[in-house]
C-alpha cells in the first residue's frame, strides 16, 4: 500500500488533569476505505516509540513499510479490503524530529511565547491521547469502531477506550499489555529513563533547544528501555558473552572502555533511531505511561474492570518482563468477557512487532 500522512488540528484542547487548554495537532494515516454507513472502522494505537505509520509505504522505494505491515493490508489479518483502519500519532511523540510525524509536545512552539514549550508543556495522560483520537473520529463522522487494538502502550490506550467510550467500541484487543501499570514497570523503564535524561548536564531543565541536546541521557534511557523489553534468551542467543573487539588485546577484563558485544549492539540499535528523538518528549510520554490508571474516584481495579462489558482479547507473550501472565490472569477474573491468548517467543516484549506470526491467527479469529 502507498499511504499518505494527514493531520488533524484542535484549536483548544483541554488537558484534563492540568485543566489547561492549548492548540494541538496530531498526524494520522488511514488504510482501506470507510464505507457509506461509516461502521467498518478500526483504530490502531501505536506503542511507546511508535508512530502512526503502522502499514504500507510512503513511496515504493522506502526501505521498510510501517511497523505492523505484516498484519495490516489487503487480505491480511486486519484486512483493509473489509475495514477502514486509522492510526494516529500520540501527543508528545518521541519521534518529534521525524518529518513524517505530526505531534504537539514539549518541542513544539508555544504560540504565546514563540519558543518551545519545554517543561512548560502540560503533563498529560493516555486518557488525553485517547481524547485526541475521539475528536478525530468525530470529525470523520465515525460513531462506532469495530475494534480498538494496539501493542504495548497501544494496548493501554485500547483499555482506555473501553473504559471511557464503551458505546463506541465493539471489541478490544490488547497485545502485550494488561490493564494495570505495576510499580516495577513504573520504575523500569519509565522513571529510570526520565532520571537518566534529567541527570544529563546537557538537559538544562528541559531548555536545551538552542544548544546540544542531552544525547547521553537519552541514549541511557533507551538502553534501559531496550533491556526491559528483551530477555536473557534474546541476549544470549544473539550475542552470548562475546567481546565487541574479538581480536583486540584490550578487552573488558583490562579496560573499562572495551565492551561486550551485547552492549555495543544495543547502543547501535538506539543510535540508528536517535536522530529523530526528542528527550523532553521521552520524559512526557514516559510520565503518561506511568500515570496510566483505569481506576477513577477511588475505585479498585476490580471495580474499574467490571465496568468494561465489551469482548476483550489480551495477547500475552509469556516471556514478557513488563506485562506478565500473572497480571493477565488477575485481570481476566474481573473482565466479563475476556479471552487471553498466550505465546512464548522467549524474546520478550518486542516480539509483538517482529514475531506477529505467533498471534496473527488468534487475532484474525477474534476480530471477524
Which H or E run contains 23? strand 20-31
Q: Which residue among 69, 92, 320, 345 is the active-site one?
A: 320
Task: Using DSSP, state whether 45 is helix, strand or coil.
Answer: coil
Give dist(CA 48, CA 42) in Å, integer.
20
Q: Which residue among 46, 174, 349, 351 is the active-site one?
A: 349
Give dist(CA 268, CA 236) in Å, integer.
17
Q: Which residue among 152, 174, 281, 345 is the active-site one?
A: 152
Residue 257 designated active-site: no
Residue 53 designated active-site: no
DSSP assignment of 194-227: HHHHHTSGGGGGG--TTS---HHHHHHHHHHHHH
Residue 349 designated active-site: yes
What is the C-alpha end-to-end distance of the chain, expressed in Å? 22
Comparing CA positions, the residue from 48, 100, 53, 90 lying closest to residue 72 is 53
Q: Is the CA virtual torsion 45, 49, 54, 59 positive or negative?
A: positive
Give dist(CA 283, CA 81) in Å, integer.
38
State the catalytic residues: 152, 320, 349
Amino acid at each position: 500500500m502507498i499511504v499518505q500522512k494527514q493531520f488533524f488540528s484542535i484549536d483548544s484542547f483541554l488537558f484534563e488533569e492540568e485543566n489547561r487548554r492549548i492548540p494541538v495537532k496530531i498526524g494520522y494515516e488511514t488504510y482501506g476505505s470507510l464505507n457509506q454507513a461509516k461502521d467498518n472502522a478500526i483504530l490502531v494505537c501505536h506503542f511507546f516509540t511508535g508512530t502512526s505509520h503502522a502499514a504500507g509505504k510512503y513511496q515504493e522505494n522506502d526501505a521498510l513499510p510501517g511497523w505492523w505491515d505484516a498484519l495490516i493490508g489487503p487480505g491480511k489479518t486486519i484486512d483493509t479490503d473489509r475495514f477502514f483502519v486509522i492510526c494516529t500519532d500520540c501527543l508528545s511523540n518521541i519521534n518529534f524530529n521525524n518529518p513524517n510525524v505530526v505531534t504537539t509536545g514539549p518541542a513544539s512552539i508555544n504560540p504565546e511565547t514563540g519558543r518551545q514549550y519545554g517543561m512548560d508543556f502540560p503533563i498529560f495522560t493516555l486518557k488525553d491521547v485517547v481524547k485526541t483520537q475521539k475528536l478525530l473520529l468525530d470529525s470523520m463522522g465515525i460513531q462506532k469502531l469495530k475494534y480498538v487494538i494496539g501493542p504495548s502502550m497501544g494496548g493501554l490506550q485500547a483499555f482506555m477506550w473501553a473504559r471511557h467510550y464503551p458505546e463506541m467500541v465493539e471489541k478490544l484487543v490488547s497485545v502485550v499489555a494488561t490493564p494495570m501499570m505495576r510499580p516495577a514497570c513504573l520504575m523500569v523503564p519509565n522513571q529510570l529513563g526520565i532520571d537518566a535524561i534529567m541527570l544529563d548536564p546537557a538537559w538544562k531543565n528541559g531548555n536545551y533547544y538552542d544548544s546540544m541536546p542531552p544525547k547521553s541521557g537519552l541514549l541511557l534511557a533507551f538502553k534501559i528501555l531496550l533491556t526491559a523489553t528483551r530477555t536473557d534468551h534474546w541476549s544470549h542467543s544473539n550475542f552470548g558473552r562475546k567481546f565487541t573487539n574479538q581480536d583486540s588485546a584490550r578487552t573488558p577484563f583490562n579496560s573499562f572502555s572495551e565492551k561486550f558485544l551485547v552492549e555495543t549492539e544495543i547502543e547501535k540499535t538506539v543510535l540508528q533511531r536517535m536522530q529523530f528523538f526528542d528527550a523532553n518528549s521521552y520524559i512526557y510520554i514516559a510520565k503518561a505511561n506511568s500515570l496510566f490508571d483505569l481506576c477513577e474516584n477511588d475505585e479498585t481495579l476490580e471495580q474499574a474492570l467490571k465496568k468494561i462489558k465489551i469482548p476483550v482479547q489480551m495477547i500475552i507473550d509469556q516471556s514478557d518482563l513488563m506485562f506478565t501472565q500473572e497480571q493477565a490472569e488477575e485481570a481476566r477474573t474481573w473482565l466479563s468477557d475476556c479471552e487471553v491468548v498466550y505465546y512464548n517467543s522467549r524474546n520478550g516484549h518486542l516480539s509483538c512487532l517482529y514475531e506477529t506470526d505467533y498471534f496473527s491467527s488468534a487475532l484474525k479469529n477474534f476480530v471477524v
